[in-house]
Structure 1
Amino acid sequence: MKTILASSLLSISLSLSAINAQAGASSNRQLVLDFVELAFVEKQLYEAFDRYVAPDYVQHNPDAPDGAEAAVTALGRFQQQFPLFIYEVKRVASENDIVFLHVHGKISPEDTGVAIVDIFRVEKGRIVEHWDVIQSVPTESISQHPMF
């Protein structure tokens, strides 16, 4: 009887942990989507970083600085240089504290653009870390498959 009760409690505990992990991944996913909408679609960098990003944000892109304030400065210069920049999220995946975005970035509507995979780590309701991989969209493809 004790074994059955202990087994049942363990099963319930594991189920609740899985539900909590799924809920966390879902809320992290929405947090990142809200961040990119405000930062890159509405182009409200300061507000986006203030609301969603930790001050000691870690940036793994070798061409970008660490820290939310430094990121706002660098991205602000980019947005000034390319005011028509388009950041279109094509796919989203999340697992626990990690959110992956597959993005089509273009500096103007007629640009073929770049394929971007942005990876964010979320902790305590804030984006704390970021990685990205960027590849130019070719005008011709050997595979004949679109990148998006």
Structure 2
Amino acid sequence: MTNKELVTKAVTAVFGQRDLSALDLYFDSNYIQHNPALPNGTAALKQVIPTLPEDFKYEVGTVTENEDVVMVHGRFSNWHGKNYIAVDIFKVKDGKLVEHWDVLQEEVKPENTATGNAMFPIS
């Protein structure tokens, strides 16, 4: 399995299917988190995922890989009442996600943008 396939499988399982066992399967036990709102490790995700509303949805868009770094352009629908577009950046080592950075932006509907262009997906 490529790193791109691994990360896609991991984020789809955790966020798309809310499979908490995927955190132990795909994420390293010493997972390093660079999102300033979350601590290192997966314990916080194990607490947050079950609290998401029933209509929460995660969609994977474009995924790109450069050796041990994988970037996922995705959409989080109804995350704390809002939709967000994110680029999640993962470092992979020995078949596990070992490090994470993200860039998150509230989604703006195309009719409310200066260009009329959608933020997701990338076409």
TM band (smaller chain):
0.7 to 0.9
Aligned residues: 117
**Cα shift readout 1:86-136 (whole Å, capped 9, x = no counterpart):** 11011110100001000111118xx77111111110001100000111111
Q: Which one-letter code corresponds to 2:67 in the other structure? A: N
Which residue of the partner structure matches residue 66 of structure 1?
40
Tell me if structure 2 keeps the 8 A contact 1:104–1:116. yes
Which residue of the partner structure matches residue 51 of structure 1?
25
Which residue of the partner structure matches residue 133 of structure 1?
103
Identify the match of residue 12 of structure 2 among 37, 45, 51: 37
Offset, 1:82? 2.3
RMSD: 1.8
Seen in structure 2, the aligned counterparts of structure 1 residues 55 and 112 have a Cα distance that, compared at 3 Å, is closer
Partner of 2:6, secondary structure, is: helix
Verify: 1:143 aligned to 2:115, yes or no: yes
Which residue of the partner structure matches residue 57 of structure 2?
86
TM-score between the two structures when normalised by the length of structure 1: 0.72
Q: Quick one: distance in 1 between partners of 2:44 and 2:106?
A: 26
Structure 1 vs Structure 2: percent identity of aligned residues? Answer: 34
Alignment gaps of 5+ in structure 1: 1-25
Offset, 1:68? 2.3
Q: Quick one: distance in 1 between partners of 2:41 and 2:30?
A: 5
Higher strand share: 2
Higher helix share: 1
Q: Quick one: distance in 2 between partners of 1:99 and 1:86?
A: 21
Higher relative contact order (CA 8 A, sep 6+): 2
TM-score between the two structures when normalised by the length of structure 2: 0.86
